[in-house]
Structure formats: C-alpha cells, structure tokens
Amino acid sequence: MRRRRGPAIAAAMIAALTAAGLLLSGCAAPATVSASAQQELAFPAIYSQEPDWQRCGADEETADRIESQLQAAGGRAEGMVCARIEVPLDWDDPANDETIGLNAVRIPSTGEGERLGTLLSNPGGPGASGIEFAIGMAVSPAYAELQSQYDLLGFDPRGIATSSPLDCESDSEIFELQLAECADQDPLAESMGTAQVARDMELLRHLVGDERLNYAGFSYGTVIGASYVTLFPEHVGRVMLDSAWPSDWSSPLGTYQQREANVAAKTDMLEQCGIRYQVAACPLHDEASLLGELEELTARPLAASDGTVVDARMVDGYLTTALYQLQAGREHVLDTVGRALTGDQNAVDEIAAAMAGGGARVGMAGLVVRCLSSPRDPGVLGVYRYIQDHGLPTPLGGPEIDDTTLRPWLDLACSALPDSGEDYMMFSNASDQPVLVFGITGDHATPYAGAQQLVDELGNARLVTLDGAGHIATFGGRSTCADEIARAYLLRGELPAEGTVCTDD
C-alpha cells in the first residue's frame, strides 16, 4: 500500500506540537512555529544525535593516506574530520522510523581571526560528491580567503557516492521500466528529491551549531540552495547560487531548453575553432560538418585499442565535455577529435578513456532526483508552444516540426516513478537575507534565462551576469570580477549593484 504523505506529516506535527504545549484549544492563537522547529519536533531522536566526528578514513592507514594527499595538494589536514549522520528515510513521514546514513566532512578554518561559522557547499549533478568538492575547496587557492574565516562542510546527498546508496537493478533498456523497478526495489527512490536534501541540510546546520546556514551551491546545487531558502527562511544566511536553475528545472520544457542551449553552445564552439581557439587543424567548423561526421560515425564507428566502440554518441558526448572547460581544455578536446577523425589511434584511445565514466551524463540516482523534483503537471503544451515559437534545431530533429520530430521532447518518462513530482516546489525567499545568483549568458548546462527566472521567483535576490560561454562563473580562474563579488558577499555580506555584468579575464 502506498503511503499518504501529506496527512501523515500533518498528524505527526499536530501531535508533536500538542505534546510541547504549543497547540492550545479554546485559547488565543499560538505563535507561528517555524519550519525548522516543526521538523525537530517531528524527529526528536534524529535531532538529539551527536555525530561521531573522527579522522577521515576507515582505518589509521587510510586516514594517514588521505591527510598526506591533502597536504601534498596544498591543503590543511589538521583538524579535518568525517562523520556518518543519521537522517530519516523520509522527512515527510514521521511515522516511518527507518533511517539512512549521510557521510560528511568538516575542514576547520585556517585563519586566526574571527570565524564566520560554517560554509556548506554542493557541486551539483545531481549525483556529484559534496565531500570530494569540499576537499577540493580546501586545496584550491581560489577559496583560501573563504576558508580563512569559514569551516568548510561537505556531504554526499542521500543515495549519492558514499552515503546510503540507491540500490536497484534492471535487465531492461527501457528507462521507464528501470525507474519503476528501482522504486519497487528500494524505498530510497521515493525520497531522494531536492526538498529531502534541503531538509538534510537543515539538520546539518543544527548539528554543527550554526544559527544560520551559509551556502555555496553550483549548478544543481543551486536547486538545493533555493529549496532550503524556500523551506527554512528563518535560518537563511549568506547563500550564493552559481549557474542557477529555476523551480521547473527538471520539467520537459527545462530539459528541452537545456538541450537547446547545449546545441547552441557546441555550434558556437565549432564555429570559433579557428578563431577563438588555437587548434592547428579544426576537425569541424559548423553544425553541418558536425552532423555529417556523426552520421559517418554511426555507419562506421572507430575502435579503441581495447575494443571500445567510439561511435557518434561517444564523440558528441566528448565534445559536450569541452563545454564545461575553459579555453585550454576546449582546445585540447577539439584537437583530440580532429586527430581521431584522421585516424590517430592515440586520440581515439584518449576519447574512449575520457568517456569511460559516462562523460557529463547523469546516472540513475541523478535521474531519480530529477523525476522526484519535476512538476506534477509536465506542461506538454508549454514545450509544444515553445518549439513552435523558437523553432526546432536540426541537431534536435528539426527544422520540420511534426509528430515525429516532436515526440522525443514531449517526455513523460518520469511518470513511471510512482512519486514523481513529490518534491516539486515554487521557490521564494521570505528571509531578511538576499540571495546572490550568478548566470552565464552562454551557459550550455543551466541556460541564462533560468538564472533570471530564479531571481524573479526568489524575489529577495540579486543577479550577477557573466557575459561569456561555459558553466560556473566563480572560483574557476575565469573572471576576477565574479570572484571578487562572490568573496565580498560571502565574507562581508556585500551585494553588487543591480544589473552588474562581469566578463572573463
């Protein structure tokens, strides 16, 4: 029998408030109880836990190795600790006492002066490790000023990396059947949505003893941050959201717009191959040449030395990985593809090795997150009208718009997950703290219009525009302007002027 989430949590909250003497029948209306207090009252055992922060590693030898690697990379291992945090399987169902574990890392501030508290972060995905990202921050000079005043806190979200994993298998290649089987095999597939992760972050804030949550979220991490701001405005501190997505990020329209932006960015990269990028022999120079080569690779794929088939999908995916990189990385990818297409076996092998982990593709856990966070109404007419108004690019099946070319974009696959849409919410910011949002005009992964939309949704937010291509505006060595704005906000709470536009250095 499927659970009924809404009534379950409402009943539990009322019972908890009654026990606490906060619900008084026949008396004046009680003071409003904050969302964080409600959550704590519903899960008292979870909130009373004392995390066992210890040296990171399963044993002494592993801990020594981790610390030595961190020090070798220029980081400070002294004081770095890890813990396993117990969280409810489902925050929406207090009657369910099942729990899962989240792995987290804390890295102490390096400065001698006044601390600003804890800076939690998430790199996105969905599916990326927050622990790896936090450790990466600790060894990056770009974050040194922040770490001098903040403890860094990272965690692997539920179902991701080293936290309690999503455990499901399928013999089918049909995505919808894979989703349905996953939900049937593992109840975690019903509670991995973004709102659940935001509730985990509220628990982490409580456990580290901070009054407010300070947060830096990137890509999908911006969705987690916006969800936290919406759910827990009473504890919002300095929240920076870089390369932001709006509330309908995982809708069919959001998915289509991401693919549309990917096509535009890839075409621009190819057209600039011999102009902006210093590539000796450009393999492809426009959309038509790309489509021609992909057609050739479909008919006659290349083969790596280990037998891996390097086909059109893999080469196109490898080109997509270049869009996440700065100029030197893009030049290397373009050069490698050019050499591979002319028969250079080393280049073919390099593409196969680079794509062995799937490239920029999101795995099943990330796809479950997307579906749980998608709108219950997929907005099919919205996708149709958008394509009518903007056209259908040739790489996406166009330019003809008919039933055959439209069908792939009217995506209802998430409906195969029973709890699809359970965690969808409209974003808002009712706190007294403005949120800082970055958007990049040529972003292929989180289109710029999404950052503009998020700022409108939040209300109390400030948008900074980076006029350029690529993904992630700050702390990547690309824009001193963006980095200085981010630091001024996170360190001193300073906001840039309305309409601020930065460029790459």
Mean pLDDT taken over the chain: 90
Convert the pLDDT of each residue in 128-185 to its tens digit: 999 999 999 999 999 999 999 999 999 999 999 999 999 998 999 999 999 999 999 9
SS (H, E, C) 157-217: CCECCCCCECCCCCCCCCHHHHHHHHHHHCHHHHCCCHHHHHHHHHHHHHHHCCCCEEEEE
Task: Give the per-residue pLDDT at 360.
Answer: 57
State whether 201 and 296 are in the same domain: no
pLDDT band at 61 (very low <50, low <70, confident <90, very high): confident
Res 253 pLDDT > 90: yes
Task: Give the per-residue pLDDT at 8.
Answer: 35
State whether 164 and 196 are in the same domain: yes
Q: State mean pLDDT over 349-372.
A: 86
Res 12 pLDDT > 70: no
pLDDT band at 244 (very low <50, low <70, confident <90, very high): very high
Convert the pLDDT of each residue in 475-494 to its tens digit: 999 999 999 999 999 999 99
Res 375 pLDDT > 50: yes
What is the spatial distance between Cα 12 and Cα 96, in angstroms, rounded to a whole number? 11
Res 120 pLDDT > 60: yes
Cα Rg, the chain, nearest whole Å: 24
Res 31 pLDDT > 80: no
Are the CB atoms for 236 and 487 separated by under 8 Å?
no
- The more confident residue out of 336 and 6 is 336
What is the spatial distance between Cα 21 and Cα 27, in angstroms, rounded to a whole number? 12
Task: Give the per-residue pLDDT at 274.
Answer: 87
State whether 170 and 202 are in the same domain: yes
CATH of residue 176's domain is 3.40.50.12270
State whether 106 and 181 are in the same domain: yes
User: How big is the CA angle at 168 (ends 103 and 357), to the nearest 5 degrees?
Assistant: 70
Task: Give the per-residue pLDDT at 77.
Answer: 77
State whether 368 and 328 are in the same domain: yes
pLDDT band at 74 (very low <50, low <70, confident <90, very high): confident
State whether 257 and 230 are in the same domain: no
Residue appearing with tokens 């922060």: 53
What is the spatial distance between Cα 143 and Cα 146, in angstroms, rounded to a whole number? 5
Would you say residue 505 lies in a domain?
A: no
State whether 226 and 318 are in the same domain: no
Environment class of 23 (CB within 10 Å of its CB; exposed 0-12, middle 13-18, buried 19+) = middle
Task: Give the per-residue pLDDT at 122.
Answer: 97
Convert the pLDDT of each residue in 277-299 to its tens digit: 888 888 888 999 999 999 999 99
Convert the pLDDT of each residue in 186-237 to its tens digit: 999 999 999 999 999 999 999 999 999 999 999 999 999 999 999 999 999 9
Would you say residue 502 lies in a domain?
A: no
Task: Give the per-residue pLDDT at 44.
Answer: 96
Would you say residue 489 lies in a domain?
A: no
Q: State mean pLDDT over 36-40.
A: 95
Q: State mean pLDDT over 428-452.
A: 97
Q: State mean pLDDT over 396-423.
A: 92
Res 319 pLDDT > 90: yes
State whether 188 and 267 are in the same domain: no
Domain that holds residue 139: 5-242
Task: Give the per-residue pLDDT at 362.
Answer: 65
pLDDT band at 58 (very low <50, low <70, confident <90, very high): confident
- What would the DSSP string read from start to end of 334-379? HHHHHHHHTT-HHHHHHHHHHTTT-TT---HHHHHHHHHTS-SS--
Would you call 15 helix, strand, or coil by DSSP?
helix
Would you say residue 490 lies in a domain?
A: no
What is the spatial distance between Cα 215 and Cα 212, in angstroms, rounded to a whole number? 10
Number of domains in the chain: 2
Would you call 228 helix, strand, or coil by DSSP?
helix
pLDDT band at 3 (very low <50, low <70, confident <90, very high): very low
Task: Give the per-residue pLDDT at 28.
Answer: 46
pLDDT band at 19 (very low <50, low <70, confident <90, very high): very low
- The more confident residue out of 57 and 484 is 484
Would you say residue 223 lies in a domain?
A: yes
Would you say residue 406 lies in a domain?
A: yes
Question: Residue-wise over 181-217: b if at least 16 C-beta within 10 A, else e?
Answer: bbbeebebbbbbbbbbbbbbbbbbbbbbebebbbbbb
Would you say residue 443 lies in a domain?
A: no
303, two tokens: 């083969």
State whether 162 and 201 are in the same domain: yes
Would you say residue 480 lies in a domain?
A: no
State whether 336 and 318 are in the same domain: yes
Residue after which a domain boundary falls, among 191, 224, 242: 242
Q: What percent of the chain has pLDDT over 90?
A: 79
Res 339 pLDDT > 90: yes
Residue after which a domain boundary falls, among 220, 242, 264: 242
pLDDT band at 385 (very low <50, low <70, confident <90, very high): very high
Say what the pTM is: 0.91
State whether 205 and 61 are in the same domain: yes
Residue after which a domain boundary falls, among 361, 393, 419: 419
State whether 292 and 330 are in the same domain: yes
Write the CA distances from 93 to 25, 99, 232, integer angstroms: 25, 11, 18
